[in-house]
Structure 1
Amino acid sequence: MTWKTRVGSPADEQLLREITLEAFGRQYEVDYLDALRVDPEVWISCVALADEQPVGYAILTRAFVGDTPLLALSPVAVLPAYQRQGAGDAAVRGVLQLAQERPEPAVVVLGHPEYYPRFGFRPADEFGIRHPQYGGPSLMALAQGDHAVPAGPLRFVVEG
């Protein structure tokens, strides 16, 4: 299936909350999604569409290595009926394309190490990025263009 995507808008807020609840099956992730709005200057979303209706999304928010701002990819959610069909991939590719227009030197993600390397993510420790709580192969980073990726302690704006 070929997926259409579009840039998310403020009008999508409730839809994203509903997709999140259905995708994860609990309120915790919806509350996390809501908490991420703490920094409205960095809330970038891409929505995957089926029959022009949003069925999944990927969001970029703020993170820091030291004082250097980065982008954090999280969450990514897809309605259960559309999972494992490429909607999530399309949303992630779309939001990473939007990230290319930004000045931040890298995107970080805390996620499945089998999934995110397909987008170019590598273990964050290869860049010298570390987090006091999260690490190992689940913490990954993607350099933006030819920017130098800062090394040091990673801090998410909202720790999940």
Structure 2
Amino acid sequence: MMIRRELPHDIDAVRAVTAAAFRTAEHSAPPVEPGGDPGEATLVSWLREDTGWIPELSLVAVEDDRVVGHVVATRAEIDAHPALGLGPLSVVPHRQTAGVGSALMHAVLGAADALDESVVGLVGEPAYYRRFGFGPAASIGVIAPEPGWGDYFQVRTLTSYAGQSGHFRYARPFDRLSG
């Protein structure tokens, strides 16, 4: 398996991987259009068109010349301070639990650190994301966009973290998904 930056010819494959990964996920966003792909697949398209898109942080996992996974981190904010919002993280169902998602997470976090980013936020299963250094956002004074997320809203600090705290805000396309 190889992890690399997303290329223009990967866009359709990334959408297919994201749709497949979230089609049967327990906590998936509803389709934007009735009968359409899960909301996460549309979200990636919206993010790609947003000013918060960071091409260096949209990564694919490739096996036998096929995209089998994708992760993206986009510009977010903690009050007025730059941060990253991670997600979605997608792996085709037949390759889940095979280390593809872990490889993508390590790669995107390493790339974010190399770009001198300071903190990454996400919504996800604490037991899964703890292994990547994530913990409850509230523990460092970062307030989730939705209070009901509780410990499912997590952050990971990176090398240049300087104590940023306050309200977390994802890139604007996330608002379109939930609203």
1:72 has 2:70 as partner: no
Aligned ranges for residues 79-98 of structure 1 at < 5 Å?
A: 79-98=92-111
Partner of 2:29: none
Decide whether the 8 Å contact of 1:46 with 1:92 is kept in 2. Answer: no
Matched residue type, 1:131: A
Quote the offset at 1:114 in angstroms.
0.8
- The 10-residue stretch of structure 1 (27-36 or 90-99) with the greater mean CA deviation from structure 2: 27-36
1:155 has 2:153 as partner: no
After TM superposition, the score normalised by the length of structure 1 is: 0.90
| 4+ residue runs over 6 A deviation | none
Matched residue type, 1:13: I
| Aligned equivalent of 1:127, options 108, 129, 140 | 140
1:14 has 2:12 as partner: yes
Decide whether the 8 Å contact of 2:137 with 2:144 is kept in 1. Answer: no
Decide whether the 8 Å contact of 1:143 with 1:149 is kept in 2. Answer: no
Matched residue type, 1:36: L
Partner of 1:36: 47
Q: Which has the higher helix share?
A: 2
Structure 1 unaligned runs (5+)?
A: none
| Aligned equivalent of 2:151, options 120, 137, 147 | 137
Q: Which has the higher strand share?
A: 1
Partner of 1:46: 59
1:100 has 2:113 as partner: yes
Quote the offset at 1:146 in angstroms.
4.2
- Cα-to-partner distance string for 1:95-125 (whole Å, 9 max, x where unaligned): 1111112232111111111111101111111
Partner of 1:60: 73
Matched residue type, 1:140: Q
CA spacing shift, 1:147–1:27, aligned 2, 3 Å: closer
Task: Name the CA distance, whole Å, in 1 between partners of 2:82 and 2:88.
Answer: 18
| Aligned equivalent of 2:3, options 2, 5, 8 | 5
Identity in percent: 32
Q: Secondary structure at the match of 2:20?
A: helix
CA spacing shift, 1:66–1:145, aligned 2, 3 Å: same
Quote the offset at 1:11 in angstroms.
2.6
Task: Name the CA distance, whole Å, in 2 between partners of 1:132 and 1:72.
Answer: 11
Matched residue type, 2:54: V
Q: Secondary structure at the match of 1:73?
A: strand
After TM superposition, the score normalised by the length of structure 2 is: 0.81
